[in-house]
């Protein structure tokens, strides 16, 4: 058994409450924490922003990638190149603009889709489900699926390698908090699904296992189920059905917005919400150390309130090892309380293990991103 060393202590000029009522001479708070936002913490009060560097050298740095610049049309999802990955989590960005005339099957882990744009009918072992902009879709490991495209569909794909997606423990707020599981939709064995079983063509299934693809051919559609029962299925929920936890007096950490949990990473969703109204409350994400997790944010829509010059289809990547937090312009706006609510929609993936950057991401990196926190001369 292990136990964190814990000894609550106060030193110097501080605020009694974290994230609120800062000393006038030190309004910049920095949180050092372990195990993401779940372990022991220390809160420092600084005279200057902890991100007010004047230069940055070496491979460790905040990074941003503009996925709009990618040529991402590939026939198969398994051909979409990895842009960030480790042994437990693989991220792809895929655009499908025509019907799939084959089936896909992932033998390496569950897949999570976040649909950025477009619409399609998703045919699976479990039936048919229409998916479109803003939908999360979980495909259980080993499930066969294909798309019939209504309009070109672009999606973030996050694989839980050798793992599964589950719901977070919601504790005191109860199982209906953030979203009620009753809002999860599952595929239907409906007329279009049964009709596709009459297709007399042979069908290929492209199975990915250990990152290699094997092809199995059937003389008929293998999506020929006439029914199913149980509590394992493809599920869908749209970000619009997420009701975020809020506090008008205290800025909640990103972990409060956790949507899905895997063994070595979590997926959080930032959706529009009121900004804290209490005069003493912090109104932007607090500066914090990236000490145990790598942080990735995919920007879907809106104006992300803690960032500057970041727009839809961009990815920011803050690897473990340095302090990060709001851009200077965002911090100044929060001090004036000139915005009363956020309007961003973004997906955050926090991984316990270091992520590798794929060549495709390197090709669309915004090199000046690390300089966006620079102290002005």
Q: Are residues 265 and 329 in the same domain?
A: yes
Does residue 87 share a domain with residue 235?
yes
In a domain, 14, yes or no: no
Model confidence band, residue 291 (pLDDT cutoffs 50, 70, 90): confident
- Is pLDDT above 60 for 357? yes
The CA distances from residue 359 to 72, 87, 213, 364, in Å, are 13, 17, 21, 9
What is the predicted pLDDT for the residue at 279? 84
Q: What's the structural domain count of the chain? A: 2
> Which of the residue ranges 17-26, 188-197, 270-279 has the most confident prediction, judged by mean pLDDT?
188-197
Are residues 146 and 264 located together in one domain of the fold?
Answer: no
Paired with 131 in beta bridges are: 120
User: Alpha-carbon distance 276 to 319, whole Å?
Assistant: 28
* Mean of pLDDT values over 119-143: 98
Q: Whole-angstrom Cα distance, residue 222 to residue 191?
A: 16
In a domain, 323, yes or no: yes
CA 303 – CA 256 distance, rounded (Å): 20
**Domain-located, residue 4:** no
| pLDDT at res. 195 | 97
73 φ/ψ angles, rounded to the nearest 5 degrees: -75, 115
Look at residue 18 and tell me if it is in a domain: no
Residues annotated within the binding site for Fe cation are 288, 294, 324
**Residue 47 CB burial class (10 angstroms; 0-12, 13-18, ≥19):** exposed
Q: Cα–Cα distance between 290 and 34 in angstroms, integer?
A: 9
Active site residue ranges: 251
CA atoms within 13 A on the CB side of 280: 10
Q: How many CA atoms lie within 13 A of 313 on its CB side?
A: 16
Annotated binding site: 288, 294, 324
Q: Does residue 334 lie within any of the structural domains?
A: yes
User: Tokens 């889709």, residue?
Assistant: 113
Of the three residues 239, 264, 287, the one that is the final residue of a domain is 239
Do 107 and 147 reside in the same domain of the chain? yes
Which residues on adjacent β-strands are paired with residue 213? 208
Q: Which of 207, 239, 271 is the last residue of a domain?
A: 239
Model confidence band, residue 22 (pLDDT cutoffs 50, 70, 90): confident
**Domain-ending residue, one of 239, 261, 282:** 239
Is-contact 65 30, C-beta < 8 A? Answer: no
Q: Are residues 218 and 90 in the same domain?
A: yes
Give the domain range for residue 268.
28-64+244-373
| Overall average pLDDT of the 187-216 stretch | 96
Q: Is 211 in the same domain as 101?
A: yes
Judge if 162 and 263 occupy the same domain. Answer: no
* 290 plus 191 within the same structural domain: no
Q: Evaluate the CA torsion angle 145, 146, 148, 150 in order and state its sign.
A: positive
**Are residue 256 and residue 235 in the same domain, yes or no?**
no
Q: What is this structure's pTM?
A: 0.93
Q: Is the domain of 97 the same as that of 227?
A: yes
- In whole angstroms, give the CA distance from residue 140 to residue 165: 8
Q: 226 with 248, same domain?
A: no
Q: Are 86 and 216 part of one and the same domain?
A: yes
Residue 328 in domain: yes
Q: What is the structure's pLDDT at 377?
A: 47
Which residues are annotated binding-site positions for homogentisate?
324
Cα distance between residue 65 and residue 272, in whole Å: 23
Distance CA 270, CA 254 (A): 8
Q: What is the mean pLDDT of the chain?
A: 91
Please indicate, yes or no, if residue 48 is contained in any of the structural domains: yes
CATH number where 122 lies: 2.60.120.10
Answer whether residue 19 is part of any domain.
Answer: no
Q: How confident is the model at residue 343 (pLDDT cuts 50, 70, 90)?
A: confident
């Amino acid at each position: 058994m292990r136990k964190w060393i814990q000894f609550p202590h106060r030193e110097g000029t501080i605020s009694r409450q974290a994230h609120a009522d800062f000393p006038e001479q030190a309004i910049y708070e920095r949180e050092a924490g372990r195990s993401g936002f779940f372990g022991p913490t220390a809160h420092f009060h600084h005279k200057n922003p902890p991100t007010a560097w004047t230069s940055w050298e070496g491979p460790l740095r905040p990074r941003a990638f503009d996925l709009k610049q990618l040529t991402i049309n590939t026939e198969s999802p398994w051909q979409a190149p990895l842009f960030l990955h480790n042994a437990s989590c693989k991220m792809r960005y895929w655009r499908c603009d025509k019907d799939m005339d084959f089936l896909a099957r992932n033998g390496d882990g569950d897949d999570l889709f976040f649909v950025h744009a477009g619409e399609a009918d998703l045919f699976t072992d479990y039936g048919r489900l229409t998916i479109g902009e803003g939908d999360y879709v979980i495909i259980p490991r080993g499930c066969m699926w294909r798309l019939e495209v209504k309009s070109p569909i672009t999606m973030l794909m996050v694989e839980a390698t050798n793992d599964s997606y589950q719901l977070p423990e919601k504790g005191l707020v109860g199982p209906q908090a953030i979203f009620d599981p009753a809002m999860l939709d599952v595929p239907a064995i409906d007329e279009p699904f049964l009709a596709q079983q009459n297709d007399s063509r042979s069908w290929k299934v492209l199975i990915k296992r250990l990152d290699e693809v094997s092809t199995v051919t059937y003389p008929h559609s293998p999506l020929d189920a006439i029914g199913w029962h149980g509590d394992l299925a493809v599920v869908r929920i749209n970000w619009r059905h997420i009701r975020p936890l809020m506090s008008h007096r205290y800025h909640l950490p990103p972990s409060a917005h956790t949507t899905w949990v895997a063994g070595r990473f979590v997926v959080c969703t930032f959706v529009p919400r009121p900004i804290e109204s209490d005069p003493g409350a912090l109104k932007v994400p607090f500066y914090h150390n990236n000490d145990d997790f790598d942080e990735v944010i995919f920007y879907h829509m809106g104006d992300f309130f803690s960032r500057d010059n970041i727009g839809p289809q961009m990815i920011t990547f803050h690897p473990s090892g340095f302090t990060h937090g709001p851009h200077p312009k965002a911090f100044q706006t929060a001090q004036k309380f000139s915005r009363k609510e956020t309007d961003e929609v973004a997906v955050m993936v926090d991984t316990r293990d270091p992520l590798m950057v794929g060549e495709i991401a390197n090709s669309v990196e915004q090199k000046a991103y690390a300089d966006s926190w620079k102290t002005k001369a």
